Amino acid sequence: MWLIDLDEYRPGPFVLDADRLPGSRRYMAPEEFVRGTVIDQRTTVYTLGRTIWHLLDSPHGWRGAPSQARLATHATQATTGDRLPDVRELVGAWRATLTT
């Protein structure tokens, strides 16, 4: 599966110079709504964590493993420093959930 976000792309971290970035609120990290904050890979980790929730949650309950729910929770912490530092770490952690 490939996930592509075409709303906005900038090569590398940047400081948000608008009131918010474009996108769906349900996937956006808290920092995407605050002018002057740094947008970096931890922001992408949040978005991917929300995507995990979206794909594995259902009206009938969680469809994934408990370790996947813990990973999604870790990835979507409100404070950027409490998340995984980059997408590579998220991918490694995700792969680890597939063997437990």
pLDDT bucket at 93, cuts 50 / 70 / 90: very high
Per-residue pLDDT at 9: 75
Q: Using the predicted structure, report yes or no on whether residue 5 has a pLDDT greater than 70.
A: no
Q: From start to end of 1-100, where are the E strands?
A: 14-15, 38-39
Candidate from 3-17, 32-46, 55-69, 78-92 with smallest mean pLDDT: 3-17
Q: 33 to each of 16, 21, 55, 71, 98, how far by Cα in Å? A: 9, 7, 24, 23, 33
Per-residue pLDDT at 3: 65
Which residues, listed in sequence order, are joined to residue 14 by a DSSP beta bridge? 39
42: how many CB neighbours lie within 10 A of its CB?
A: 24
Farthest CA pair distance, the chain: 42
pLDDT bucket at 22, cuts 50 / 70 / 90: confident
**Cα 46 to Cα 90: distance, rounded to the nearest angstrom:** 10
